[in-house]
Structure 1
Amino acid sequence: MCRSTGRGFWKTLVWPSDTGYYDIFAFGASPHQAAYLLGLILAGDKTATSSAVLEYEATETPIPEPGALSIVLNEYGQPSCVIETHTVHRLPFSEMDFTLCSNEGEDENLASWQNNHLDFFKEIAHEFGLEFTKESEIIFEEFRVVYSS
């Protein structure tokens, strides 16, 4: 995805010039997923996301904090909205409940969320030569859209 386009987009917004942002990214692992998930976000159905802690550690990326702003790209790598993190939960995968994970807007029940995410987190861990289990920690980040183009 094109991060330089995101930086140009950031300069056009009405926030103070010294306002920083946490990240520029597209949700999902493919253009199709990026389009689908962005649609859920813009419709207000997706207000959260989850990540494996081991990915943050392996890439030495800071864990997002409340107040963090991120630019979300569409399937073409173009900026589409800005989200602000308002709550960050750090918990073992096995302790996730449906009240929380339903905010991702993608699954009908906890079992579906667990199946989809366990496979995804295992793939991520494998890329780093690590193992993800049901006891591995995740970051569950709740956000709100603060700007959309």
Structure 2
Amino acid sequence: MHKSNHLQYGLVISAILILLSVLFYVLNLSTESWVKWVSTVVIFVGVIFTCTQFAKLNDGNVTFGNVFANGFKTTSLIALVTVLFSVVFILIFPDIKEKALEEARRQMEKQGQSDDVIEKAIAMTSKMFMVFVLAGGIFGTLFFGAIASLIGAAVAKKNPNVQQPQL
């Protein structure tokens, strides 16, 4: 049985992401495109660190699969906590939705989209906003977390004590 660290690191990484989200909201930076990459970097670094610490915690007596599974459990916890936070945060501060729609409109205007296309897209996005938040948060976190888990499992020091069959 392996010692696990996915709960503690998953909660710490989630707390960091939540604090960054609140900070970016307060500083009115939440619609900046680079902000999304900050969260991705935090997830990447956090999950890889979790994987390497998992291997150390178990004195290297782990396999690639053990380390990957621990990293993906961490990722799943991060996805769950941050998506729940996002829903609550948007319900408390509904102006987040309006700011996001304004930014989407600006981007579409910058691309030279027609007014009719912009209005239809904004109307659909407005109706489906929470679905997009949920799907984007879950799948985005799981996608980047899975990649980070693979990298973490690859770089973690492994020296499993495999029992040789007796002849």
TM exceeding 0.5: no
Q: Which has the larger radius of gyration?
A: 2
**Bigger fraction of residues in helix:** 2
**Bigger fraction of residues in strand:** 1
TM norm structure 1:
0.30
